[in-house]
Amino acid sequence: MGVKNLIYLISFFCMVSCAERAESPGESIVVDPVERQRMYLAQERQILQGYIEQHQLEGIERNGYGMYELSMSEGDGLLSEMGDRIIYSATVYLMDDSGVGQYTDTVELGMSEMEIGLHQALAGMKEGEKKLVLIPSFLARGLAGDLDKVPPQSPLRYDLRLIRVVR
């Protein structure tokens, strides 16, 4: 290697080593975890409200759990309560209206391993009643989603029908 090339190489290393780094260690942005969660919940609430407006869901109401419920047809049978064994059907959608699935299940309200939001939505329904429910992610499939059709932190729409209450 010639002297000229050696001088270029040394000059290059000097410039690189003297350059300031764009990020200094210890200067990362820190967001309080509680504040981050508040921001996410507010964003998710806007998604749910946007869905309600887009689909013109007149009469839908927000309950104390942060879910939105709209009765589609009244039932005329027994009223379901926590602890009852029920048979229900559900059709599940993402907020972009893509279908996640449809199923019928038998569960004990308040005792089985299903989404907390579903327990709350099904409690108080009458046999034969149909209800549309928008459930925030923290009451639906949570942080991880279902690792298949439901992405992480996804609010869901449930079209529910209470088939039977068994006491």
Residue 99 belongs to domain spanning: 33-166
The confidence score (pLDDT) of residue 148 equals 87
Please give the Cα distance from 70 to 53 (Å, whole number): 14
Q: Residue 27 domain-assigned?
A: no
In-domain check, residue 23: no
157: in domain? yes
pTM for the predicted model, two decimal places:
0.79
What CA–CA distance (Å, rounded) separates 136 from 37?
13
Is 2 part of a structural domain of the chain? no
**Whole-angstrom distance, CA of residue 128 vs CA of residue 106:** 15
Residue 59: which CATH number?
Answer: 3.10.50.40
* Residue 140 falls inside a structural domain: yes
- DSSP tag of 101: E
* Cα–Cα distance measured from residue 114 to residue 81, given in angstroms and rounded to the nearest whole number: 16
Number of domains into which the chain is organized: 1
Q: How far apart are CA 128 and CA 134, in angstroms?
A: 20
Residue 69: inside a domain: yes
- pLDDT tens per residue, the chain (167 residues)? 565 554 554 555 555 455 555 555 667 788 888 998 889 889 999 999 999 999 999 999 999 999 999 999 999 999 999 999 999 999 999 999 999 999 999 999 999 889 999 999 999 999 999 999 999 999 999 878 888 899 999 999 999 999 999 98
Residue 5 lies in a domain: no
Q: Is residue 49 part of a domain?
A: yes
pLDDT at res. 143: 79
